[in-house]
Amino acid sequence: MENPANRPPEHLPETIQRILNFWIQRAALMVVVFSSTIVLGISTNESNAQTWIQRAKNAMGVERAGQKILHFRAAWADQQNYQSDRSYPPFFDAISAAEVWYQPSTGVEHVKQQLTFPGIEQPLENLYDSNRGVMLRGDRAVPLARSQLRIRNLNPWAVIYDWEHAENVSVEGESVYRDYPRIVLARKTEGGEQRLFLDGKTGFPVKLDYIEFHYLWGHRHIEYVYSNWVMAGKIEVSASAFLLADGAVEISTTTGTTELIDATGAPSMAMPAPVSPANDLPAFLQPRQPQVTKVGSGTYLLTNPGYTEAVTLSGDQLYIFDATQGAERARLDEEAIAKLFPGKHKINVVVTDLAWPHIAGVRYWVAQGATIIAHKAAKPFLETVINRRWTLQPDLLEQRRATTSLHFQGIEQIYKSPDGAVTLLPIDGIGSEIVLAAYLAPDHFLWASDYIQTVDEPTAYAAEVWNAVQRAHLQPQQVAAEHLPLTAWKVVDDLNSAAK
């Protein structure tokens, strides 16, 4: 009888054969991935990380581009989950038709795009490098906030340039992502640690991965995924790229025609000198000290460059209209309110609209024991916001979670406060469903949420607010909103009466 130990592998039982084949393939892959100098384990020294980056450059053909400019057209769909007409899908997209010039030798990217937004078309022009971005407005260069630089990360050529020129890149290890083993590089940035996944077989970039601190959600897992690589002459580009936040796609881009051109055929690739230091957040989210404007005997506006809010005292109860920008803005509001209305009062925060920047301070007020008043349909989303765990950077609500809960009052019909001074009314237009406005009778003042933004021309939003006021038989004399200063109601009335 033949000794089983002498049988060739093809005579082994099928299961054992598959296991053996797997490890044979695995060993071959390890040789390819780590070269003949590393059989087991992964070196974490910087030169090895740079070797992997060079493999990525070779795979894409960066050296073959020489001093040429990478020129392509792309379409971007930027999901507006933070400001759609509902807090749940489907969300509308801001669509951009873009033309991009990228200079591999300097890492500078020049982007011209035609943005299509509901009812709006707008041309935009930006420049990016490894550290900053600017928006070009004629002869001016306006610095972009760091949180607005995410478009650059959709271009893996630019990402590889940034990692090549970073000082602290190391090999973290190996991880299976999208069904295959990937080599994971790591580096530290001002925003925290980032991880770059490279395909072990070919070297192509597969994913950029990091944790993003967020004004509403505390932190989110951000992934930029690169796929559908196509050949364009001597180079290869990712024809599809995606930004995912907590696993959901927020931006998708599809790249069309791609070519290498001479620098003379491109717009300027020179980054302008910085006008001012970049902020982490865009201006509308920066929680600057609010300025106080008196509306009447018991009502005030709290305004900073991003948002206006309103506050009134009705009997022994404070009504705060909207809580924008985040916990720091809410704290500054609280300080201002304490000076306007000394003493202890029951606090009600009226959430008129669910756009993420409009409710970013709600968690702070819940932690302070405030009652949240909103449209009844807003409750599920507000519960999601309140229940979100801020484990990496615990905010006040997270610190008080064991003793704090959401006190919610839902509104579906016109609501009046016990003394009749405050009226809350659903606007209920087709574009303003589950949105509230507020009328403060002692001051003949209307708080229009975010739904009157201009009085220069008729708008659908303003018309819906005006219709709601007519239905409720209210007679305001003044109006303000999150982006509208204190204005005579007659201006709004005349504008909409003439449009009828």
Measured CA distances, 285 to 290, 307, 328, 372 (Å):
13, 8, 11, 22
- Residue 8's pLDDT is 35
Annotate 440-467 with b (16+ C-beta within 10 A) or e (fewer): bbbbbbbbbbbbbeebeebbebbbbbbb
Best CA proximity match to 435, nearest among 371, 373, 352: 352
The DSSP secondary-structure symbol of 483 reads T
- Residue 350's pLDDT is 98
Other CB atoms within 10 A of residue 169 CB: 22
Calpha distance 352→435 (Å, rounded): 5
Query: Which stretch of DSSP H or E encloses residue 103?
Result: strand 93-103
Q: Contact at 8 Å (CB) between 327 and 363?
A: yes
Q: Contact at 8 Å (CB) between 449 and 352?
A: yes
Calpha distance 395→367 (Å, rounded): 9
Q: Contact at 8 Å (CB) between 209 and 223?
A: yes
Query: Residue 238's beta-bridge partner residues?
Result: 229
Calpha distance 365→374 (Å, rounded): 14
Query: Residue 432's beta-bridge partner residues?
Result: none
Can you give the C-alpha Rg of the chain in angstroms? 28
Q: Contact at 8 Å (CB) between 81 and 381?
A: no
- Residue 500's pLDDT is 65
Measured CA distances, 304 to 32, 325, 485 (Å):
58, 10, 11
Calpha distance 124→141 (Å, rounded): 12
Residue 283: φ, ψ to 5°: -55, -35
- Residue 47's pLDDT is 58
Verdict on whether the full-model pTM lies above 0.85: yes
Measured in residues, the chain has a length of 500
- Residue 7's pLDDT is 32
- Residue 280's pLDDT is 83
The DSSP secondary-structure symbol of 279 reads P
- Residue 81's pLDDT is 97
59-74 pLDDT, tens digit each: 999 999 999 999 999 9
Best CA proximity match to 195, nearest among 172, 177, 217, 178: 172
What residues contact residue 218 under an 8 Å CB cut-off, 6+ apart? 388, 389, 390, 391, 392, 393, 395, 398
328-369 pLDDT, tens digit each: 999 999 999 999 999 999 999 999 999 999 999 999 999 999
Q: What is residue 68's three-state secondary structure?
A: coil
Low-confidence ranges of the chain (pLDDT < 50): 1-44
Lookup result for tokens 């407005």:
137
What residues contact residue 100 under an 8 Å CB cut-off, 6+ apart? 70, 71, 72, 73, 74, 109, 110, 111, 112, 155
